[in-house]
Amino acid sequence: MIKIIKDNAVSVLLSVIVITYLVWSQIKLYEYREALEVEKTRVYSIADHLELWKEISIKHDGYLDLEKLGKDQRNIKITKIERRDRASLANDESMFYVMFYDELGKQRKSELDRFFSDLVLGNYFYVITDKSGKVKEMFWDKP
């Protein structure tokens, strides 16, 4: 009789341990999935930022063309900040802007998917210039 009670107690204890482990592992898997989604969003955001910087550098010759950027598919909103404390800027003629734009949609994400490759594991980057050395195109892999 005592052996049966011991066997039942061990079975119950093992069952509790297994159920606890299963619940814990499901919670951890959920947390890892959530963390992976955050990192995936971060990578897409970095890729989109780099593409915007590249566009400003190459297509706009490094100038902040408010009219052209206002027509961008990202729906960029640019606000000029008038600052009373000009000491924080490089000089008195510097202008300070804040840019906000829409989150990535499916179309924009699919355009950025071309940067996801195995080449990211190496140091890979290329630049195409015209005869005078002006940059025409730059290509990079995901960050």
Q: What is the pLDDT of residues 84-131, one digit of tens each?
A: 654 555 566 677 788 888 888 888 888 888 767 665 545 566 677 888
Residues 115, 111, 135, 130, Cα dihedral to 10°:
110
**Amino acid letter for position 32:** Y
**Domain residue ranges of the chain, discontinuous segments joined by +:** 2-61+104-140
* Helix (H/G/I), strand (E/B), else coil: 25: helix
7-65 pLDDT, tens per residue? Answer: 788 899 999 999 999 999 999 999 999 999 998 888 888 888 888 888 888 888 888 88
> What is the phi/psi pair of residue 96, to 5°?
-120, 125
